[in-house]
C-alpha cells in the first residue's frame, strides 16, 4: 500500500526545459535592468536561487509558468522580478514611440503653420494617444492574487522595497482593511496590484478596478486559490474570466505566473485545464521538508493529554517564536485560551477572527509581544516569518501537503528550525508513512489519514512493526534517513539532522 501511495505519477503540467537557463548566473545575466539589480543588491542579494533563475528566464521569454519548490526558496521574487522587468521594458518602448510620434507631429505642424501667424501666438499640439497610457488610473498592468491579507501585505512590502530604486507603482487591496484609502490608491496609475480575491472582485464590480490593461496575472499559493475544496475557486473564476475576455477582445496577450509549494494530483490536472500552456519549473526541494529542519514526534495517549505535551514542548524549546497549528478554529480557541491561562504569551490567528483583531494579533507576534501564535493552516499559508524557530503540530495535519506548508514556516533561507508533532493513535499511520518516505529520499506525497487502524499495533514500536510486516526496510544513520520511530508517551524522539546547506536568499 505504501508503495502505491508514494509512487511517482506523471504530472499533467509539462516540465520546462533548462535551455533558457545558465546555471551559476547573476541577476544581470538573466536580463534584469540595472535598477532592479541595484534594488536586489540593497537587499543583500547578488545571485538568484535555482528556482528564481529558471523561473525568471522562462517568464522573460514569455512562457506561462508555475514554479514550485520548498517554502523559503524565493518564489516571491521569482514571479515579481520578471513582471516588473517586462513592465519597465514596455514603458521604455512606449516612451520611445511617444517621443517619435510627437517629433513627427511637431514637424508636420511646423510645415503647415501659416507664415502670417501673429507674433507671440502659439499653437497647441494634442498629445499622442501613447502619451496618455501611463496616466490611466484604476487600470493595473499586473495583478498578484494571494489567499490572505497577511500574505498580501508581505508581497506588497517586497514590491514597495524594489520600487524605491526600480521606479514602478504598486498597491495592496485586501479584505479586512479600510476601503477609503484603498479606493484613493486605486485612483492613481498602478503597475502592480496585489489583492485578495474577494476584495478585488468587489472593486471590479463597483468600477474601482478595470481590467483593460492587465498583461500579467500572478497567483501565489495557487494550490490553495484554485482548489475548490478551499472555497476560493468560484471567485477566482469571476476574476480570471473577465481578464481572459478583455485580452481576447483587444488582442492583448496575458501572461500567467503561478507559485505553489506543491504540484500534485489532482491539482496538476486543474492547473493544466485552467492554463493550457502552463510550464512547470520545479525545484529540487519540492515535496520535501527543508534540510535545515529537525523533526520530532511526541506520542500522546489521547487528545486530552495534548495540552500537557504542548506545554512540555514549549518549555523545552523556550527561546524564540513558535507557531502552533490546529485543524479547526475551535481547537485554536481552546488551545490559545489554555496557554494564556498557564501564563504563556500567546495569541491566535484564524478565519473567524475579525480582520482588525487579526492584524493586531499578527503584529503582536511579529513584534515579539506574543511569542506563541496559535493558528489554522489557511491563516498562515505562504507567510514568510523568517524568525520562527519552532513549529508545533498540535493537531497533526490531515495531509502531507499541509505538513509541508506548516513545516516550511521554520527553517527558512537555510536557518535551523524545529518541527514537533503531537501524535495520537489516529495519527500514527500517517506519521509513520511520512517518516518512511523521507528515509527513502522520496517526496512526501499525499497520504490520507482515513486508514484502517485496526491492523496496526499502537505500542512503542508500532511504526517499526508495521513497516516490517510490509517488508519495509528500517532506516537510520544517513544524512536524510530516520531512526526507528518509537512513539512513546510524552517522549521526544528526534530525527537526525540533515546536512546543513548554504543559506539561500528569501
Residues 353 and 410 in one domain: yes
Which regions of the chain are under pLDDT 50?
A: 1-10, 17-22, 128-134, 446, 448-506
Q: What pLDDT sits at residue 25?
A: 82
> Domain residues for 309?
293-494
Spatial separation of the C-alpha atoms in residues 225 and 230, rounded to whole Å: 7
Residues 326 and 225 in one domain: no
Q: Would 79 be classed as within a structural domain?
A: yes
Q: Is 443 in contact with 403 (CB distance < 8 Å)? A: no
Q: Please, which residues have CB within 8 angstroms of residue 266's CB and are 6 or more apart in sequence?
A: none
At 444 the pLDDT is 61
Looking at residue 236, its pLDDT comes to: 96
Same-domain pairing of 274 and 297: no
Predicted local confidence at residue 224, as pLDDT = 87
d(C-alpha 490, C-alpha 111), whole Å: 91
Same domain, 239 and 325: no
pLDDT, one tens digit per residue, over 72-97 is: 778 999 999 999 999 999 888 877 77
Q: How many CB atoms lie within 10 A of CB 189?
A: 17
Number of domains observed in the structure of the chain: 2
Separation of alpha carbons 14 and 282, rounded Å: 10
Copy the grid coordinates of residue 415: 536557518
Q: What is the DSSP string of 88-148?
A: HHHHHHHHHHHHHHHHHHHHHHHHHS-TTPPTT-----PPPGGGGGGG--S--SEEEE-SS
Q: Is 114 inside any structural domain?
A: no
Query: In b/e form, how buried is each residue of 53-85, taking b as 16+ CB within 10 angstroms?
Result: bbbbbbbbeebbbbbbbbbbbbbbbbbbbbbbb
Q: What is the pLDDT of residue 133?
A: 44
Residue 405 maps to a domain: yes
Name the domain boundary from 254, 282, 310: 282
> What is the pLDDT, as a whole number, of residue 336?
95
Q: What is the pTM of this model?
A: 0.70
- The pLDDT value given to residue 128: 46
CB 221 within 8 A of CB 263: no
In whole numbers, what is the pLDDT of the chain averaged over residues? 78
Contact 169, 159 (CB under 8 A): no
Amino acid at each position: 500500500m505504501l508503495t502505491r501511495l508514494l509512487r511517482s505519477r506523471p504530472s499533467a503540467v509539462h516540465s520546462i526545459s533548462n535551455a533558457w537557463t545558465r546555471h551559476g548566473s547573476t541577476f544581470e545575466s538573466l536580463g534584469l535592468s540595472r535598477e532592479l539589480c541595484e534594488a536586489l543588491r540593497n537587499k543583500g542579494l547578488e545571485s538568484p536561487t535555482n528556482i528564481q533563475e529558471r523561473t525568471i528566464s522562462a517568464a522573460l521569454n514569455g512562457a506561462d509558468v508555475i514554479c514550485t519548490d520548498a517554502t523559503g526558496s524565493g518564489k516571491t521574487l521569482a514571479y515579481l522580478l520578471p513582471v516588473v522587468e517586462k513592465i519597465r521594458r514596455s514603458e521604455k518602448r512606449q516612451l520611445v514611440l511617444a517621443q517619435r510620434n510627437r517629433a513627427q507631429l511637431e514637424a508636420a505642424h511646423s510645415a503647415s503653420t501659416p507664415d502670417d501667424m501673429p507674433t507671440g501666438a502659439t499653437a497647441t499640439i494634442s498629445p499622442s494617444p501613447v502619451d496618455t497610457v501611463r496616466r490611466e488610473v484604476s487600470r493595473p498592468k499586473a495583478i498578484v492574487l494571494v489567499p490572505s491579507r497577511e500574505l498580501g501585505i508581505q508581497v506588497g512590502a517586497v514590491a514597495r522595497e524594489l520600487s524605491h530604486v526600480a521606479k514602478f507603482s504598486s498597491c495592496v487591496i485586501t479584505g479586512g482593511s479600510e476601503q477609503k484609502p484603498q479606493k484613493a490608491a486605486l485612483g492613481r496609475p498602478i503597475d502592480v496590484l496585489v489583492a485578495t480575491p474577494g476584495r478585488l472582485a468587489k472593486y471590479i464590480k463597483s468600477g474601482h478596478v478595470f481590467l483593460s490593461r492587465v498583461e500579467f496575472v500572478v497567483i501565489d499559493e495557487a494550490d490553495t486559490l484554485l482548489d475548490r475544496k478551499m472555497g476560493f475557486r468560484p471567485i477566482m473564476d469571476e476574476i480570471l474570466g473577465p481578464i481572459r475576455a478583455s485580452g481576447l477582445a483587444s488582442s492583448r496577450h496575458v501572461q500567467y505566473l503561478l507559485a505553489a509549494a506543491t504540484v500534485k494530483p489532482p491539482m496538476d490536472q486543474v492547473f493544466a485545464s485552467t492554463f493550457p500552456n502552463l510550464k512547470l519549473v520545479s525545484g529540487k526541494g519540492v515535496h520535501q521538508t527543508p534540510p535545515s529542519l529537525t523533526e520530532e514526534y511526541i506520542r500522546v495517549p489521547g487528545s486530552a493529554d495534548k495540552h500537557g505535551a504542548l506545554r512540555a514542548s514549549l518549555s523545552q524549546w523556550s527561546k524564540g517564536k513558535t507557531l502552533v497549528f490546529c485543524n479547526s478554529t475551535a481547537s485554536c480557541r481552546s488551545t490559545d485560551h489554555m496557554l494564556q491561562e498557564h501564563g504563556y504569551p500567546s495569541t491566535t490567528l484564524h478565519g473567524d477572527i475579525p480582520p482588525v483583531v487579526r492584524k493586531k494579533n499578527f503584529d503582536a507576534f511579529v513584534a515579539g509581544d506574543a511569542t506563541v501564535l496559535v493558528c489554522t493552516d489557511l491563516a498562515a499559508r505562504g507567510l514568510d516569518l523568517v524568525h520562527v524557530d519552532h513549529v508545533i503540530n498540535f493537531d497533526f495535519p490531515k495531509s502531507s501537503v499541509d505538513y509541508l506548508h506548516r513545516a516550511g514556516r521554520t527553517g527558512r533561507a537555510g536557518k535551523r528550525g524545529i518541527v514537533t508533532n503531537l501524535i495520537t493513535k489516529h495519527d500514527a499511520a500517517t506519521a509513520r508513512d511520512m517518516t518512511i518516505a523521507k528515509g527513502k529520499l522520496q517526496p512526501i506525497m499525499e497520504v490520507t489519514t482515513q486508514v484502517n487502524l485496526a491492523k496496526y499495533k499502537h505500542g512503542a514500536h508500532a511504526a517499526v512493526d508495521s513497516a516490517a510486516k510490509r517488508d519495509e526496510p528500517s532506516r537510520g544513520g544517513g544524512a536524510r534517513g530516520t531512526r526507528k520511530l518509537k512513539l512513546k508517551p510524552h517522549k521526544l524522539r528526534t530525527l537526525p539532522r540533515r546536512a546543513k546547506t548554504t543559506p539561500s536568499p528569501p
